[in-house]
Amino acid sequence: MRAAMPRAPDATEEVIRDPLMVACLLRRAAAARALVAVDLPGAQAGVTMILGVDLERRELHLDQLAPPEADDALRRAGRLRARIRVNGAEAEFEAEVAGHVDTSGGGTYRLPLPAEVRYRQRRSHHRVPVPRNLAVAVRYVLAGAEAAGRLCDVSLGGVGLETTAADAAGLAPGDAIERCALLLPDRSTVAGPLEVCYVAEPAPNGAVRFGGRFTALDPRDRRRLQRFVAALERDYVRRCNPGAR
């Protein structure tokens, strides 16, 4: 039985084999506390979460599986196929179990860092997370009303934003935002119309995340966006591997 996690339609796919990029991707899933759907040969599927990624030891640490029957099956099988979805993108990998540490709260599985991860996304560009301390402000206009938000992730094709439930009221995939402006750290602005692609459920604190793609950017704004995304990617790799020069 497979855990239900339908693939995104019209998704692009690539295979990531670079250990640093694999670690960055899995750390991003861990930070988002994304559920990991686990398929087991001839057994009930289960779910777990990533507890940590040790790039130096090339290890991945997973929490015990739920339900208990799936956890027992993984101990017997010693191998799994895992699928994770974060912000509309899906990652899939296979791995052997290298060890298990029993704790009072259940247990932790140690797995070798996957040799490859299949990565699918509906977007044609990778999105890069924006650190909270960068605080890139966003202003957008929908149906003649102006609203504000925070930039959470960005690509050459679109953005992931966070706003209040009030400002996101009535927002739905397919909506056309007349103008979405990013106020970049160098005080320049990237602005253009945006098509809403997804709207998440409100978080416990009332914040709502949604994502969209730019439908038209003039060449100057596109160059500004390219420079900003490139700088974020370099910083992201450094943060994923603090020892890198």
pLDDT digits (tens, 9 = 90+) for 143-158: 888 999 999 999 888 9
Return all residues near 232 (Cβ < 8 A) that are at least 6 apart: 128, 129, 130, 154
pLDDT over 80 at 2, yes or no = no
- Vertex 14: Cα angle to 61 and 119 (nearest 5): 35
Domain identity same for 194 and 91? no
Domain identity same for 114 and 168? no
Domain identity same for 73 and 114? yes
Element spanning 61, H or E: strand 59-63
- Domain span at residue 231? 128-240
Return all residues near 186 (Cβ < 8 A) that are at least 6 apart: none
R_g over Cα of the chain: 20
Q: What is the mean pLDDT of residues 47-54?
A: 94
138 part of a folded domain: yes
pLDDT digits (tens, 9 = 90+) for 7-41: 333 445 678 888 887 888 898 889 888 999 999 87
CA atoms within 13 A on the CB side of 172: 1
Domain identity same for 166 and 235? yes
Q: What is the pTM of this model?
A: 0.52
CATH number for the domain that contains residue 232: 2.40.10.220
Domain count, the chain: 2
Last residue within a domain, chosen from 103, 121, 139: 121
